[in-house]
Amino acid sequence: MNATKCFIILLLTTIIGCKDKTIVEEAYLNFSTEYLSFDSKGGEKQVDVYSNSDWEIASEIPEWISVNKIDSDADKSILTFELTENTSDKSRACQLYFEYPSGGNIINITQSGNEFLQFSDKENIYLNENDTVIALNIHKNVPYIVDINSDVDWIDIDGYSQSSESQMAKEFTDKQIVLNISGNRTGNVRNAHIVIFNKKFNLSDTINIYQISGEKLYYTDGEYFVIQKAKINNPVNLFIMGDGFTVDDMNIGGIYEETMKQSMEYFFSIEPYASYRDYFTVYSVVAESETDVVGGGKTKFQTRFGTGTAISCNDDMVFKYVKNVKDIDEDKPVTVIVPLNINKYAGTAYMYGNGNSIALCPMSTELPPYDFEDIIHHEAGGHAFGLLCDEYVYYDKVMPESRIKEIKEWQEMGFYHNLDFTDNLEIIRWKDFVGHAKYSDVGAFEGGYEYQYGVWRSEENSCMNNNIPYFNVQSRWSIVKRIMTISGTDFSISDFMENDIINKPYDSRGGNISGHFIPLGEPVMIKNMK
């Protein structure tokens, strides 16, 4: 055989020999996850196992874990891990070591302890009537949310605000909550339910706080008392609540109560309210401010002084406090007098299209007609209840058409009937009084609502002109007509004239004002209902 033929045979033998050789792959063992986490209830979870070789669990399996294997195909198996409930409050864990020919791998298993959340204290806690601070200990291993029944305003929790939605959702982790409990001056035992809960684990616990009270010595914020009860079955409701009065003013028979009563007396000290007083039920709602510094917006109704004699307030808060008075007819308009605990001449009325109103009246001690009583006459009796328009004059000019249009729109809604835009005594709003022997002073007197010309009032002078304690006849008729409408009483203009009392002042309160009269703030007119 020659050399070339021998080389070819050797090459073929080598190729055929390589083709028959078996290639050995490296062994592997992989898991779909290497970490399993269970809550205290236990349960079952699966892990996919991928391997090209034999393998086994080389470590000891705890009794709280059961492992089952299901073969899926040549390279895949399914392991099922089942854990029993962990009744301990401690978490537990283990590592299972899996061994195969060329190495090993680990699956980590953890289980949380049994979740718990409860007060360490007894179920009911009884307190005396004094201001108190108590700490409630909490036995727990989960975060929690705190809740107090919504009508409780005498308990504050450190770090927690029940009025804040973000705080309501906040999870606490402290093992103690501190309660600041105000003194009980209600005269009654009161109670609250403090609840801690965790929705995820359906855990909650409740503790009840009971606070006794001694003799009722103080009024509490939000409660109300009746100053006067009407002598008719369908009364007109009047509400009085102060701003800038603190806890020190709230003793029974104290400053707050006396101021509310005095405000009522001032309201009824002028005709026609004096004659129709029996138609009114008067409520006082207790409004406790944190400060007696009025005018900076820090008091209960956030009153602020504006330009001149104007005042603003949080009207929503005022009407919210009115709602503390229960069992009243909600269809009746609401008139609120708000005495401001400050010696200042100012005043403003808020008047709404549905007849609701607020009269802001500082407790001025200046001489009439700049005193507290005359402010109440003008703002509460004139604007807020009587729905009357100012009659004083600022400008020596004709009233603009835009202002006339505005007044007429309000007149169609039942307001401002003490002014008219004609001097024709045969068609003027108060024509029924013109020429009547009882009303010799009635006519058409030009000037009103800030302008000298183009608008007329029924008499030379009136409370709506310069605060004197006298309403002109058209104003008195507007007031009485409203009293009768609200009370559902049949009443005619002839009935009014028969019973009308004319009580013009001729003393120093009668308007002998030296110098320029200072008007009160222009009413805030709001057509949207409140």
pLDDT, position 24: 59
207 plus 241 within the same structural domain: no
165 plus 297 within the same structural domain: no
Residue pair 340/362 in contact by the 8 Å Cβ criterion: yes
274 plus 131 within the same structural domain: no
pLDDT, position 15: 37
Residue where one domain finishes, among candidates 149, 184, 211: 211
Q: What is the mean pLDDT of each run of 10 residues along the chain (530 residues)?
A: 41 41 74 93 93 91 93 84 90 94 94 90 90 93 87 83 48 88 86 92 93 86 96 97 97 96 98 98 97 96 97 97 92 96 98 97 96 98 98 94 96 97 97 96 96 96 94 98 97 96 67 67 87
Does residue 249 come out as left (phi exceeding 0), alpha (psi in the -120 to 50 range) or beta?
A: alpha
Q: Is 176 within the bounds of a domain?
A: yes
481 plus 378 within the same structural domain: yes
pLDDT, position 332: 95
pLDDT, position 511: 44
Distance (Å, whole) CA 518 – CA 148: 51
- Count CB atoms within 10 A of the CB of residue 124: 10
289 plus 163 within the same structural domain: no
Q: Which residue, 417, 416, 439, 414, is CA-closest to 428?
A: 417
Q: Is 442 within the bounds of a domain?
A: no
Q: Is 510 within the bounds of a domain?
A: yes
Residue where one domain finishes, among candidates 111, 137, 156: 111
181 plus 164 within the same structural domain: yes
289 plus 234 within the same structural domain: yes
Q: Output the pTM of the full model.
A: 0.67
List of residues 6+ apart from 407 with CB closer than 8 A: 389, 416, 419, 449, 455
Q: Which residue, 156, 134, 220, is CA-closest to 185?
A: 220
- What are phi and psi for residue 264, nearest 5 degrees? -60, -45
pLDDT, position 70: 83
Residue where one domain finishes, among candidates 111, 140, 175: 111
365 plus 476 within the same structural domain: yes
Is 133 exposed, middle or buried, given 0-12, 13-18 or 19+ CB atoms closer than 10 A? exposed
Number of domains in the chain: 3
Could you tell me the CATH number of the domain that includes residue 33? 2.60.40.10
